[in-house]
Structure 1
Amino acid sequence: MGYVFIRYVKQDKAIAEQISEQLRLAGVEVWRGAQAIQAGEDWGDAIQRAISQADAMILIVSRHSVQSSLIQNEVKIAIEHQIVVLPVTIDFIKTMPTILYGMNWIDYRKNQEKGISVLLEHIPPSARSTHPVEAKAEQSRGYVFISYAQEDTDFVLLLREFLRERGYSYWDYQDSERDYHSQLFLELEDVIREAAATLSVLSPAWKQSMWTPREYLFSEQVQTPVFLLRAKDMEPTLLIAGVPYIDFVENQQHGFQKLEAELQRKGLL
């Protein structure tokens, strides 16, 4: 049996879970990030694969998600793979993205029972069963955004393993992938907003990078928890002067122990 991919932003998680549960009981296999993406897996790659192989894409449209460049790009991926996109409205929206024009909109605002009924009518038979689908436990806690320069890849590999063991997936870009045309720039903002936390890997290369300091500043601005990880000796920099960091230079094992303690303190473990 196939599946439907459901896309939403974290502010709409409760409603997305409610809709997913109703579909599950109606015999629909629903692909939802935390239930499907394994801890330690690249979250961005997993999302793109899941969309390209889905039988349909359900898009939760709200005032929080309607302007997301990342979501609009994922809708483009679905369209390119000729996958039916089903926008489900949960808010009153004044202006819709042009990419959603002409699609079959499903209204979930006034009559939720009717909304689910209409949604089921549009889901391909290949993703439906005559019996409820077995409930699935979450495979990860979500993802952490790793901000680093390419020169620090060796440390990041250790960091990814640490995250896997603590139940997190990751999302990151190397310097070589940061072709910051306007679209990708906006997508990255959405990635950071949706992340459980940002881990900034400090090093001389981090200081010289055009983008890692900006990723740190933006994370602070949108109130995504930021953890500064000193992976290599570096000269002082005004940007983070006086900001606490976790030191991995003197004792790497102790650094990971401190990071675990800080994640627990923030309620992320």
Structure 2
Amino acid sequence: MSNRYLYISYSHRDKLIVNQFVAALSSRGLPVWQDINEIAPGEDWQEAIESGMKSASAILYFISANSSKSQWMEREIAAFIERGKPIIVVAIDDSGNKFKPSDLKLTHWLDLRMGVDQAADSIVRRLAEDIHLVGTSEEPKQKSKGYVFLSYAEEDLDFVVKLREFLKHRDYAYWDYVESKRDYHGQLFLELESAILDSTAVLSVLSEDWKGSKWTVREYFFSEEVGRPVFLLKAKPMGPTLAIAGTPYIDFNSGSERGFDELDRALDRRKL
């Protein structure tokens, strides 16, 4: 995609209404960059987002009760403010304006509650002359289904390399603590929470090192608490642990091919 596009910043918990709005903009010839449309399967989700932000002409920032809980959205809007690029704020619900970041008080915004088509027409009129985007939309790349959060101990990276390749064939991108770009100025647990909340599913790689990791067991418990689908993948032999006692897992110790076939079926059963 060229650098003449709008970057879409939103909480994945608002994806239904945002997807409708993005479709309305595209039908009017306005090129947009939305993660699920532009990030190819197998890509590192966060690196692709950094690249998408860097090249965009402007940002559509969707505010809602959900956006107020997104650490990633805070980082995205801070990056656009720093670069001095145009920002249009789109309020999704009654809580939207209440949670509008203080830096955006003077920024132009519109209310999506006026209706998807009316709001889309308003943006097209506003941007046609200012940024010259209308009529330049391109064919989207192969879509990713979203990203999965990879939870593992660094000692199990050899298995995770194979797992990333599997995800690429399943049309998933991934968020990886080791490989993804991170916000070293923020609190780690908040960043991990946000990454898990916005994920499609969580893949937790089990091993003795998983048991001893400072974060992996916490990531598992948090994922369960917030209702994200969690798939336990036993990558290496490990002794019993109370953390997952009685919980089904996929055993890769009898062969990687068999394990990935079982994971493939498990994802299908969950319609992922």
Match of 1:9 in 2: 11
Residue 150 (structure 1) aligned to one of 151, 154, 160? 154
Aligned positions of 1:171-186 closer than 5 A: 171-174=175-178, 183-186=187-190
SS of 1:66's equivalent? helix
Query: Shift in Å at residue 96 of structure 1?
Result: 2.8
Give, in whole Å, the separation in 2 of the partners of 1:13 and 1:25: 18
Letter in 1 for 2:222: F
Report the counterpart of residue 47 of structure 1 in structure 2: 49
Q: Report SS of the residue matched to 1:235.
A: coil
Alignment partner of 1:167: what SS? coil
Q: Which deviates further from its counterpart, 89-98 or 133-142?
A: 133-142
- Consecutive unaligned residues in structure 1, runs of 5 or more: none
Q: 1:209: which partner in 2?
A: 213
Deviation of 1:113 after TM superposition, in Å, equals 4.4
Equivalent residue, structure 2, for 1:196: 200
Name the structure 2 match of 1:67: 69
Q: Which residue of 2 aligns with 1:88?
A: 90
Native 8 Å contact 1:198 1:219 kept in 2:
yes
Judged with a 3 Å threshold, the aligned counterparts in structure 2 of structure 1 residues 180 and 125 are, in CA distance, closer, same or farther, namely closer
Aligned to 1:166: 170
1:258 to 259, 262, 266: 262
Q: Which runs of 4+ in 1 moved over 4 A?
A: 111-114, 124-127, 175-182
Contact 1:24 1:133 (C-alpha < 8 Å) held by counterparts: yes
- Corresponding residue pairs, total: 267
| Residue identity in the other structure for 2:245 | A
Amino acid at match of 1:60: F
Structure 2 matches for 1:126-145, cutoff 5 A?
126=131, 128-129=133-134, 131=135, 133-134=137-138, 136=140, 138-145=142-149
Q: Residues 143 and 28 (structure 1 numbering): CA distance in 2 closer, same or farther, change over 3 Å?
A: same
Output the CA distance in 2 between the equivalents of 1:189 and 1:30.
27
Unaligned runs of 5+ in 2: none
1:19 aligns with 2:21: yes
Report the AA paired with residue 83 of structure 1: K
- Residues 83 and 184 from structure 1, CA distance in 2 versus in 1: closer, same or farther, beyond 3 angstroms? farther
TM-score computed with the length of structure 1 as normaliser:
0.90
Q: TM-score, length-normalised on structure 2?
A: 0.89
Cα shift readout 1:70-120 (whole Å, capped 9, x = no counterpart): 211111122223222211012112343324333212122135444334323
Choose which of 20, 27, 32 in structure 1 pairs with 2:34.
Answer: 32
CA contact (8 A) 2:24 2:116 kept: no
For residues 122 and 179 of structure 2, what CA distance do their matches in structure 1 show? 45
SS in 1 for 2:29: coil
The verdict on how the C-alpha distance between 1:179 and 1:99 changes in structure 2, with shifts beyond 3 A counting, is: closer
Once the 2 structures are TM-superposed, how far is the Cα of residue 58 of structure 1 from its aligned partner?
0.5
